Amino acid sequence: MMDEEFNSSFYIGESVASPVKQMNYESLKGFKKTFKTKWILGTTFMWNYGVIRLIFKKFDYYLLIGEPSILSHWVILLIGKILGKKVFTWGHGIKCTEKKKLFWFEKLFYRLPYKVFVYGEHAKNNMIKLNYNKEKIIPIYNSLDYLNQKSIKKESKTTNIFIDHFKNENPVIIYVGRILYSKKLNILIEALDHINKTEKKANLVIVGPEVDDDSIPKLVKKLELENEVWFYGPCYKEKIIAELFANSVVSVTPGNIGLTAIHSLTYGCPVITHHNLHKHGPEFEVIEEGITGSFFKEDNLDDLVFKIKYWLAADANKRLEASVEAEKVIDEKWNPLNQIRIFKSNFSK
């Protein structure tokens, strides 16, 4: 969308060691070049070869990935500051104010840009506490395939997809994402086991590929939950994902959450994740306790069970309210149209 709204030139730093499939950069209207990226001496620091010369081009604005570990960006920012260029960064900002290794390095980096686009209010508030100029810290939020998803949501409705599979009408919990140790799906399976030993029964559908945790199917078998857990597998068809969310009562990610929170709320499905906010992606901000989802005490099984039961017990009115509020959050901030508005507002100054 940026290449349609702005007269932009895109120079891409080649990604290294990234498991995520990259977009076809050459499809961008303003694509110019890809630069090679190298790790520096086996550290977490990187260098984009050949990018420094770009700061001497006659662009009105420069927008860099806001990542302190890309050392070539430091050089661009320093030269830009000397030359009076308007160099913006776009990234996570400071997610946590607690002192950590190389914290001084991170704090110094964000002093250099003309302005800093961050993904959410949490990072901005952290940076204000650290005495950054609040006028220079701009929340830009994040988004998915918003317009397509909105169109699909208008057509989506409840179906019998879960009734047909589970052969019962019990409410369904959904997890969407890769099956990773870091997602802590074991505690979700254990929570389901606790819930199903009470009067209120539930089912669970897990949508996503198995990556590095093959213990989850074994745990399901051990707890004799094969009939209550559906390993749907990976799914990349948005209409099917919309149907799965539309028929689920609540989306649960026991580990760290990111864009799944936006994906869930886009289709009106409230989200549960843990309360250790600085560990999450910035998208956790879409969750408002008891309104669009819930936070449970990290790694606390009893609290997770309590929060899941809260949403399983929600009546039709409560579910409708959650769906309406979820859609409102996405429509107001977490979409590309709003992001473009924010860019235009700042690039016109």
The values of phi and psi at residue 100, to 5°, are -150, 175
| Ramachandran class of 296: left when φ > 0, alpha when ψ lies in -120 to 50, beta otherwise | beta
Cα gap 165→327, rounded to integer Å: 28
Per-residue pLDDT of 229-241, as tens digits, reads: 999 999 999 999 9
Cα gap 93→18, rounded to integer Å: 21
Averaged pLDDT, 321-328: 96
Per-residue pLDDT of 50-88, as tens digits, reads: 999 999 999 999 999 999 999 999 999 999 999 999 999
**Residue whose tokens read 């662009």:** 59
User: Distance between alpha carbon 328 and the CA centroid of its chain, in Å?
Assistant: 18
User: What is the pLDDT at residue 349?
Assistant: 55
Cα gap 119→55, rounded to integer Å: 25
Cα gap 321→334, rounded to integer Å: 19
User: Distance between alpha carbon 107 and the CA centroid of its chain, in Å?
Assistant: 23
- Residues found in the chain: 349
Per-residue pLDDT of 300-312, as tens digits, reads: 999 999 999 999 9
